[in-house]
């Protein structure tokens, strides 16, 4: 994560974000949003949800949006944000980085278009949006930025240690088995085996940084099949941190119908369809574009 954080800082200092925002502007119109919202999504894609929130409340046009528009924008942000870091985590787990990037951005755009059509068709959430959050002062100067990043990395490290401890305890009391048994029918439809089920649950609830880190450890220690890793990461990519990130978007005025219900259902459907398509793809294309071959497959 550290080199990616430094790279993103350089991109910000070189003021390259407006160029990405210009590319996203036509896509914003397809989702029923002002072109200026491309800057918000561009910030989310390269940075994180918090940075996008700060940009959002700094734009005057943000206070003129409807609840439906804020919900659509928030849903896109949640499905495709912090890509430099999160794609690197996925790559370390064995997933092909290009496909993961295109899949996340593509799903965000498609769902945004669908939500725009549904909200306009039904006349839902067309009232004026209310923002209930204002950003805290951001650290100034390079040392303030370094301190903030070290604090964030330290918090992530401590949380991961806590998660590993909790998972081991749940394994000890056999609660993990019960949870996996309950969700196994759903995960089986999505191509996720038992070995990756518990970590997928962590990623869905806590976030890709935490779930992905645990997958890296489990892949190295337990040899989880690459297919399971791929579908687990793909699902976590577009539907992770369902608790924290959802609450953050509520502060901007977004509605749960989009940022939680539609996002989760759409993510499950997309991964299910991908799993069905995957079964008909030649192995050489799967291993070239989706995930590498397992050691056993290489030997055969």
The closest alpha carbon to 189, from 225, 235, 243, 142, belongs to: 235
- DSSP lists the bridge partners of residue 66 as 128
CA distance 35 to 44: 15
The closest alpha carbon to 241, from 210, 272, 216, 271, belongs to: 210
According to DSSP, residue 60 is labeled G
> Is pLDDT above 50 for 299?
no
First to last CA, the chain: 35
Would you list the domain boundaries of the chain?
Answer: 2-128+158-285
Sign, Cα dihedral of 125, 130, 133, 135: positive
Q: What integer pLDDT is reported at residue 15 of this predicted model?
A: 82
CA atoms within 13 A on the CB side of 276: 7
pLDDT tens for 99-138 read 999 999 999 999 999 999 999 999 999 999 999 877 666 6
> Quick check: pTM over 0.75?
yes
pLDDT tens for 197-209 read 878 888 888 787 7
Q: What integer pLDDT is reported at residue 59 of this predicted model?
A: 87
pLDDT tens for 2-51 read 777 777 778 778 888 888 899 999 999 999 999 999 999 999 999 888 88
Helix (DSSP H) and strand (DSSP E) numbers for the chain: 17, 0
Q: What integer pLDDT is reported at residue 138 of this predicted model?
A: 65
> Is pLDDT above 50 for 184?
yes
């Amino acid at each position: 994560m550290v080199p990616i954080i430094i790279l993103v800082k350089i991109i910000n200092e070189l003021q390259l974000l407006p160029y990405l925002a210009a590319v996203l502007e036509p896509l914003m119109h397809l989702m029923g949003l002002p072109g200026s919202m491309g800057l918000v999504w561009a910030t989310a894609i390269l940075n994180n949800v918090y940075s996008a929130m700060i940009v959002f409340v700094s734009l005057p046009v943000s206070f003129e949006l409807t609840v439906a528009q804020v919900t659509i924008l928030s849903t896109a942000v949640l499905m495709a944000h912090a890509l430099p870091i999160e794609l690197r985590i996925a790559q370390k787990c064995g997933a092909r980085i290009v496909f993961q990037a295109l899949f996340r951005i593509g799903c965000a755009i498609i769902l945004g278009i669908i939500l725009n059509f549904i909200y306009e068709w039904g006349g839902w959430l067309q009232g004026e949006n209310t923002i209930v959050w204002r950003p805290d002062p951001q650290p100034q100067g390079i040392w303030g930025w370094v301190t903030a990043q070290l604090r964030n990395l330290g918090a992530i490290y401590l949380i991961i240690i806590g998660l590993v401890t909790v998972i081991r305890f749940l394994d000890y009391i056999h609660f993990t088995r019960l949870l996996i048994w309950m969700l196994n029918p759903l995960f089986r439809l999505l191509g996720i085996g038992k070995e990756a089920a518990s970590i997928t649950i962590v990623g869905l609830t806590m976030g890709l940084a935490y779930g992905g880190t645990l997958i890296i450890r489990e892949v190295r220690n337990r040899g989880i099949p690459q297919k399971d890793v791929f579908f687990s990461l793909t699902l976590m990519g577009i539907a992770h941190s369902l608790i924290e990130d959802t609450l953050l978007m509520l502060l901007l005025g977004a509605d749960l119908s989009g940022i939680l219900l539609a996002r989760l259902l759409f993510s499950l459907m997309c991964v299910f369809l991908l799993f069905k398509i995957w079964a008909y793809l030649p192995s050489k294309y799967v291993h070239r574009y989706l995930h590498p071959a397992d050691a056993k497959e290489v030997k055969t």
